[in-house]
Chain A
Amino acid sequence: MAGISQILNIAKEALMAHQLSLQVASHNISNVDTPGYTRQSLKLTSVQGAPLAIGTIGGGVDATQVVRHYDQFITQRISSQESQVGYLEAQQQAFRVVETVFNEAQGTGLNDLFSQFWASWQDLAANPDLLAARQAVVQSGEALLGHIQYMDAELDRISGDLSLTLQKGITEVNRLSEELARINIQITGAETTASSANDLRDQRDEIVRSIAEYLGVTNYEGKNGTYTLLLSDGHALVDTAQNWELEWTGDTMYLLTPKADGTTSRQELAAGEELGGKIGGWVSVFQELQNDNQDNYQGRLDSLAASLIREVNSLHSQGVGLAPIADTLTGTEAVPAAVLLSSTVLQSDALQSIAAGMLSINGRSLGAIEGAVAVNGLAMTKASSAVDAVNEAEAGVLARLTTLMAGTAGTGLVAGESVAFSVDGVQVAYTAAADETAAETAANVVSRINTAIAAHNGDPTTLVPLRLEAVVGDGSNGGAAGSIVLRNTMDGDPSGISIAGIDTAADAKLGLANGVQTADATHNTGEIAIFARQAFTVRGGTSDTILNQLGMGGGLHSDDVPGDGEFTFGAENNAVVNGLMGFSYADELAIDGGSLDIWLYNLDNSPAMARPVTVELTGAYTLQDVARAINTAVTGATGATDPWVEASVVQGQLRFTSDGSHRFAFANDTANILQVAGVNTFFSGYDAGSIDINALLSEDLGLLAAGRVGTGGEIFPGDNTNAIQIADLQSSQVSFNGGSTETMDGFYNALVSEVGAGSRSANRDLEFNQLLQSQLEEIRDSSSGVSLDEEMANLIRFQHAYAAAAKLISMSDEMLSSLLDTI
């Protein structure tokens, strides 16, 4: 069709198209401030005209599509930049708060209190007999520990707050991911007619961007226009119409997957800074504040407190105050029970090594455990390697071997031949009644040894009973067939077994040699004993294969799920009542060969004896053993029936009670039992949360040990030996959990500057990334942003086009009129 009506038609179409353009422009103008809005424009094309003899005459204009000025690449860049900024923002916010805890800038922080604390010991060294100086030490100690406790509590509180914030963030992410799934469906529905759901897509991009603010995610578009959202570790958060929820349980992040049976399975996500976004940022700071990690801020504060307590107490417990102790002295540390897991390393797998990182205890990864040939049926070397690996991991547990000493197969005694030797000082003698085989001799001598030990242990003057037994070797118990095997009966007792007095040919026929053996790679029972203060968790892969090698496989106790590669072992499973290894500072104990001197005084503070009572503690396993050794030694030394000072165990605490007519003081505690049990110590507790001043000191300042007992038992009020040594700790290199060695001031200063540096780098990075983000936004806006000036200009353009089209109609009208008029 051609002619005027065609012109009219073209004009009509043009009117419609320009009206549409105006509409699109007004949509743009009205959304000028809508976040995520992408500028749209109407795509106009000319309509192919009808071919005429003179050629083709165009058919006017046609509005074909509303186009989004969208840049996929830059949008994705912005969304990932959003994650980065969110991450840094969250980190910066959290650091701001953490920083205030460590804020030393004003000069009134822990550093200053440390200086005051050491200075007070120096002042005490100058005036050991002044009560005021003693008061000052206790007060500066209280100020110091008060601040440490405050810092600990603050860090706890911040980590609690962060956990709450995390919770909220995750709720938000869950809400957004659900919305994303919904909008995915809407878009698929809206776009079936080949047209693009521009505004829905803008909304969806905005949701992705919001999620990216909280979590580092990547997204890609599916065939039918839906988005799939992946977490940084590759787990899908949203896929088409399905979304997965996240859950935060206070310290772990889980991905919930609904199962067919209506339950949900929870999968643990690696919760660290790799999560990205605000959540990643919060988690990264949150992890610095979590307990039981000696490398984070909280853990290093604990380390500092632990070292302070250990170093001060180890000196303080060796000292003495103004006068001997008059009444009752109770240790600050209680050890109701020591959790003990005893397991036998599987002999059949003795040669197999366990690579580093395969096992973890309380989340601390263990180093490699080397396999080695088993000796007479016991995987001794592997057990020793396992014990070393556990101890080096510093996982809050202590591993110990149990001593075993095996002789060689003897030749047997002939009738009338005698042997005489001593085991740990206990005399054993045996005379063969008839000619014996090696095995008969071994069996007879073993029974003699066990009888002699029983008699020794039954003797009331024995300080610490011998926890030792003899058995005949059979090739599977650590000794060759027919040999004599001696082993400690208490699990994890590495104390030495000594044999002496073997010097005749007959003695030599037993296959025993003189000497002392303590538990080492070739003298142990092939068992691992793991002691802990509280329940601990061991993990070793997804099945029990590795745990089985160490004898820790499924079914260790009724609650242990077999085959899951992990178990938790607590006091309810097995514990040693009042076991020494349950003390927080049990690793300081030097029981084997260790002793403690107790000086006894009359009521006028003159020494009641010219020498101290030396209590040998070798072999002590529980606190009761220690108490018994002390009481036996004291009564043995004084000759009195009742001990002048009695040791007892009350609710897991070591208590010394005088008989009312004597006093006592301590010296030369080479076993470190006082320090460990908190007797005669300055601090109590074991970390930043538990540190406190020994309550007895606040009651009686005279107990503050500025001096040491003199060689003749003298206690001089002017003695400053101990005070000077404690003051010297300020510049001493001491060891910290985790193995570093530094001065306490230095350790703390390093921690402060690290917190500062962490905060500073978050600040810096945030500034940079915000700039980057604003530049990216600018780039995005340069294509997708609405420019009002541009739209205004367009409006005029469209308006004029519209007017021109209208002019066409009026012109056609005139043409028609003039045509009709001629008729």
Chain B
Amino acid sequence: MRTTMNSIHQNALFNLSRVLQEMQQLNNKVTSGKELSRISDDPIRMASSLNMRTNLAELKQYQRNITFGESMVGAAEEALTQIQSVISDAKHAAVQLSSSSADPTSRRNSATLVRNFLEQAVSLANSQVAGRFLFGGFRTSGYTNEEPAPFLADHVDGFRVNAAFPDPVSIGTDPAPAAMAEGDLLVNGIGVGAAADDGLSTIYADASAAALAASINAASAETGVEAVVVPAFQQADAAVNAGFMDAGDLVINGESIFSAATAIMANDADNSLVNAINSKSALTGVTATRGEDGRLLLSAADGRNLHVVTSAAGEAVSRLNGVAGGMVHIGALQLFSERKFTLESTIGDDLAMLGLQGGEAISGEEGDVAGDDVIVVDSLVYVDSAVRYTGDRENNLEIAVGRRSRIEVAKNGQELFVDSGLFSTLRDFERILLGERFTEITGSGQATDTAATLDSGDTGLSLAGIVANGAITFTVTDQAYRPPQETSFSVPVDTAVDTPAGIAEKINGIPGINAAWDVDGHLVMTSDDPERYSFGFDDSSNFLQAAGVTLNQAQSQALQGIASELETVFSAMTDHISDLAAIAKRMEVQNNIYARLEVSTTETISDLEDADLAQAVMELKAKEVAYEAALAAAAKTLQMSLLNFL
């Protein structure tokens, strides 16, 4: 093949420039220290390197998240541990104060101590990290002057409104109360279903408090508003007159109280009327009592209607209805929700169906205008020593610790403190020390025959002798109101007539209190609803003392209860603390994994991206030699020409 000078020249140039290009690439590697200076250098390697970089950035982010989480968990653990020590102190105090060496006076003096425990607990529950509340759920900040922190002492938790008792319905004169139809009432804009028969009432069963409450509660999952019934009651206007009662003279909830003519004494001094009504309690769902002044008081056991029919004779004696005839008393409702809520009437009755008509005067809600068919329940209710939770009740703060993997780093206060009963127990503790508002008392005295009259000496009560004629005055406090409503009822004691069981029944007839002798012969008095009703007592007859119910006794018992409740709260806190420890452990493990991953990912990226300097330099050296050789060869070849020899 002919080879021309031009070919040799071209070839030499082509090869030299290739070597030069390679040298430039190597030079790039050496000077930048990177294997890749352009994405085209190695697109596959580039792609995996990009993925690795994304991974690395994620890993670093997760580690940052975990560091943040660890600070939150650490702070929460610290706060909970301190709260635990407050609980532990409180428990010791409760045990100490429940001992017989303490007396009501010393206990009253200790109330401030408990108040301090409560305040300490509240302030710990309001712990902050970097200006953010730990136990407020998502409400870590953004508190108002009205609600400055997640936990607010001396306010009722949640929102509530109390309806008035509907006017009694006089049968034959007043129209029948209308049952609520579907959509008549909107709670938070959500229509409430029609009220159906409550299965309890003997009349107007679909217009009773129980029926209303049932349909409101049926929608509570959606509306977030629940209803509780305040049972209907009726107190006679005047004292019981002496006379005779016969079958049909007094019919309560469809049950005739008497089957034969029975003599009734003035003021029902021998309890025969009260006892007769109470003997039918199981059928009527109604209990009776009478006050010192001789007036009858009937109260329904639940949300059923209280239907009282008196004949002329029956009216003359019982004085229950004012005039002979039928009267229906309907219970009231209390509506509450954790959030502010709205009630609306769509039938233009200004919420008369709930007994909330008439605006602010009835509902107690500031700015509630009468006649506008709407109530917005949004006011804070003040109650001594209650604790209000204003934070987020639903969400716990989470952090991302991996793709789709989350860890809860802070629980909201609802679950931690409200549901665990921390504050309510401390509040009860304080109230017990103050000697008021009991919710449960069991007498220490033991009766063997509760049907014997008190002066018979057969009751078995060792102190029966100290009982004198007089009265026991109960003060029932309804905490649902602001200020709490206190109602006093006196139960007269006549040693010649009353039996221990009879007195218990009369106490039982007081709305809000249940009383009975248990099988062992102890008098047990409990509140209908411990959250709402509590009671105190004042006894001029010494009956309660004889039954073993003294302030000292009651307090001691209640404090033992408090001590065991605090124990439960304590162990709940322990659970939470160990949960936190587990979370902290998990984060630590995760963090270690990420730290190791970060190292290996960084290594991989370095493998992918960083130039192997030694190799690059060696290659460069080799290319240099090759280049020099190529130059020399080209120079030699090109130099030679026949021209030189002519």
Q: B406 contacts the other chain (Cβ, under 8 Å)? A: yes
Query: In the complex the two chains form, is B140's CB within 8 Å of A129's CB?
Result: yes
Closest to B376 in A: A610
Bound complex: CA A691 to CA B341 (Å): 42
CB distance from A775 to the nearest CB of B (A): 9
Residues on B with C-beta less than 8 A from A606 are 340, 378
Query: In the complex the two chains form, is B53's CB within 8 Å of A610's CB?
Result: no
Q: A721 contacts the other chain (Cβ, under 8 Å)? A: yes
Which of A714, A717, A720, A786 counts the most chain B CB atoms within 10 A? A714
Residues on B with C-beta less than 8 A from A128 are 138, 140
CB distance from A261 to the nearest CB of B (A): 51
Query: In the complex the two chains form, is B400's CB within 8 Å of A125's CB?
Result: yes
Q: List 24 A-B contacts (CB under 8 A).
A: A100-B38, A104-B39, A105-B38, A118-B57, A118-B58, A123-B61, A126-B399, A128-B140, A609-B342, A711-B224, A717-B140, A718-B136, A718-B392, A728-B403, A749-B51, A752-B39, A777-B10, A778-B3, A781-B2, A781-B3, A781-B7, A786-B4, A787-B5, A792-B646
Closest to A753 in B: B47
Query: What per-residue 1/0 map shows which CB atoms of A745-789 lie under 8 Å from chain B?
Result: 110111011111111100100010011001001100111011111
Among A107-115, A194-202, A588-596, A645-653, which stretch is in contact with chain B? A107-115
Using a CB–CB cutoff of 8 Å, the interface residues on chain A facing chain B are 32-33, 95, 99-100, 102-107, 111-112, 114-116, 118-119, 122-123, 125-129, 322-323, 604, 606-607, 609-611, 637, 707, 710-721, 724, 727-728, 730-731, 745-746, 748-750, 752-760, 763, 767, 770-771, 774, 777-778, 781-783, 785-790, 792-793, 796
Using a CB–CB cutoff of 8 Å, the interface residues on chain B facing chain A are 1-7, 10-11, 14, 18, 34, 36-44, 46-47, 50-51, 53-54, 57-58, 60-61, 64-65, 68-69, 132-133, 136-142, 144, 188-190, 224, 338-342, 376, 378, 392, 394-395, 397-400, 403-404, 406, 609, 641-643, 646
Query: In the complex the two chains form, is B340's CB within 8 Å of A712's CB?
Result: yes
Q: Which among A107, A755, A756 is the interface contact of B53 at CB below 8 angstroms?
A: A107
Residues on B with C-beta less than 8 A from A719 are 138, 392, 395
Q: Provided the pairs A99-B39, A126-B399, A716-B140 are in contact, do residues A788 and B404 lie with their beta carbons within 8 angstroms? A: no
Q: Which among A106, A712, A750 is the interface contact of B224 at CB below 8 angstroms?
A: A712
- Per DSSP, are chain B's interface residues mostly helix, strand or loop, or mixed? mixed
Residues on A with C-beta less than 8 A from B133 are 718
Residues on A with C-beta less than 8 A from B69 are 126
Query: In the complex the two chains form, is B643's CB within 8 Å of A788's CB?
Result: yes
Query: In the complex the two chains form, is A114's CB within 8 Å of B54's CB?
Result: yes
Query: In the complex the two chains form, is A785's CB within 8 Å of B41's CB?
Result: no
Residues on B with C-beta less than 8 A from A112 are 53, 57
Bound complex: CA A757 to CA B395 (Å): 49
Residues on B with C-beta less than 8 A from A116 are 57
Q: Provided the pairs A112-B53, A606-B378, A727-B400 are in contact, do residues A103 and B340 lie with their beta carbons within 8 angstroms? A: no
Query: In the complex the two chains form, is B404's CB within 8 Å of A759's CB?
Result: no
Bound complex: CA A781 to CA B341 (Å): 97
Query: In the complex the two chains form, is A782's CB within 8 Å of B339's CB?
Result: no
Q: Which among A115, A122, A756, A785 is the interface contact of B65 at CB below 8 angstroms?
A: A122
Residues on A with C-beta less than 8 A from B42 are 756, 760
CB distance from A29 to the nearest CB of B (A): 10
Query: In the complex the two chains form, is A760's CB within 8 Å of B142's CB?
Result: no
CB distance from B129 to the nearest CB of A (A): 11
Q: Provided the pairs A322-B142, A720-B138 are in contact, do residues A753 and B58 lie with their beta carbons within 8 angstroms? A: no
Residues on B with C-beta less than 8 A from A758 are 40
Query: In the complex the two chains form, is A111's CB within 8 Å of B5's CB?
Result: no
Residues on B with C-beta less than 8 A from A767 are 18
Bound complex: CA A770 to CA B1 (Å): 21
Query: In the complex the two chains form, is B43's CB within 8 Å of A756's CB?
Result: yes
Residues on B with C-beta less than 8 A from A757 are 40, 43-44
Query: In the complex the two chains form, is A714's CB within 8 Å of B339's CB?
Result: yes
Query: In the complex the two chains form, is B54's CB within 8 Å of A111's CB?
Result: yes
**A-B contact sample (14 more), CB < 8 A, given A105-B39, A711-B224, A712-B340:** A105-B37, A115-B53, A119-B64, A611-B189, A710-B395, A714-B339, A714-B392, A716-B140, A716-B392, A721-B395, A756-B38, A757-B44, A767-B18, A786-B4
Q: Which among B5, B38, B57 is the interface contact of A99 at CB below 8 angstroms?
A: B38
CB distance from A27 to the nearest CB of B (A): 16
Closest to B399 in A: A126
Q: Provided the pairs A114-B54, A749-B47, A782-B3 are in contact, do residues A707 and B138 lie with their beta carbons within 8 angstroms? A: yes
Pick the 6 closest A-B CB pairs, nearest first.
A718-B140, A756-B43, A115-B57, A756-B39, A759-B40, A716-B138
Closest to A607 in B: B340
Query: In the complex the two chains form, is A774's CB within 8 Å of B10's CB?
Result: yes
Query: In the complex the two chains form, is A718's CB within 8 Å of B4's CB?
Result: no
Which of A126, A128, A749, A777 counts the most chain B CB atoms within 10 A? A126
Bound complex: CA A707 to CA B139 (Å): 11
Bound complex: CA A583 to CA B190 (Å): 34
CB distance from B389 to the nearest CB of A (A): 13
Closest to A783 in B: B2
Query: In the complex the two chains form, is B7's CB within 8 Å of A785's CB?
Result: yes
Query: In the complex the two chains form, is B57's CB within 8 Å of A754's CB?
Result: no
Query: In the complex the two chains form, is B139's CB within 8 Å of A714's CB?
Result: yes
Residues on B with C-beta less than 8 A from A752 are 39, 43, 46-47, 50
CB distance from A495 to the nearest CB of B (A): 25
Bound complex: CA A712 to CA B376 (Å): 13
Residues on B with C-beta less than 8 A from A122 are 61, 64-65, 400
Query: In the complex the two chains form, is B137's CB within 8 Å of A104's CB?
Result: no
Bound complex: CA A609 to CA B375 (Å): 11
CB distance from B553 to the nearest CB of A (A): 45
CB distance from A85 to the nearest CB of B (A): 12
Q: Provided the pairs A759-B40, A777-B10 are in contact, do residues A716 and B400 lie with their beta carbons within 8 angstroms? A: no
Query: In the complex the two chains form, is B141's CB within 8 Å of A717's CB?
Result: yes
Residues on B with C-beta less than 8 A from A129 are 132, 140-142
Residues on A with C-beta less than 8 A from B394 are 710-711
Residues on B with C-beta less than 8 A from A753 are 39, 43-44, 46-47, 50
Query: In the complex the two chains form, is B7's CB within 8 Å of A115's CB?
Result: no
Closest to A712 in B: B339
Bound complex: CA A607 to CA B338 (Å): 14
Query: In the complex the two chains form, is B38's CB within 8 Å of A731's CB?
Result: no
Q: Provided the pairs A610-B376, A753-B43, A753-B46 are in contact, do residues A785 and B57 lie with their beta carbons within 8 angstroms? A: no
Closest to A723 in B: B400
Residues on B with C-beta less than 8 A from A119 are 57, 60-61, 64
Bound complex: CA A404 to CA B339 (Å): 46
Residues on B with C-beta less than 8 A from A102 are 39
Query: In the complex the two chains form, is B339's CB within 8 Å of A755's CB?
Result: no
Q: Which among B5, B6, B47, B132 is the interface contact of A750 at CB below 8 angstroms?
A: B47
Query: In the complex the two chains form, is B41's CB within 8 Å of A718's CB?
Result: no
Closest to B144 in A: A604
Query: In the complex the two chains form, is A787's CB within 8 Å of B139's CB?
Result: no
Closest to B34 in A: A105
Bound complex: CA A58 to CA B190 (Å): 128
Q: Which among B43, B50, B400 is the interface contact of A760 at CB below 8 angstroms?
A: B43
Closest to B142 in A: A717
Bound complex: CA A61 to CA B7 (Å): 34
Query: In the complex the two chains form, is B188's CB within 8 Å of A789's CB?
Result: no
Residues on B with C-beta less than 8 A from A787 are 2-5
Bound complex: CA A149 to CA B397 (Å): 36
Which of B34, B40, B51, B641 counts the most chain A CB atoms within 10 A? B40
Residues on B with C-beta less than 8 A from A728 are 400, 403-404
Residues on A with C-beta less than 8 A from B65 are 122, 125-126
Residues on B with C-beta less than 8 A from A783 are 2
CB distance from A732 to the nearest CB of B (A): 9
Residues on A with C-beta less than 8 A from B40 are 95, 99, 755-760, 763
Bound complex: CA A788 to CA B144 (Å): 100
Q: Provided the pairs A123-B64, A753-B44, A774-B10 are in contact, do residues A759 and B39 lie with their beta carbons within 8 angstroms? A: yes
Bound complex: CA A715 to CA B642 (Å): 96
Closest to B14 in A: A774
CB distance from A584 to the nearest CB of B (A): 28
Q: Which among B5, B44, B140, B392 is the interface contact of A710 at CB below 8 angstroms?
A: B392
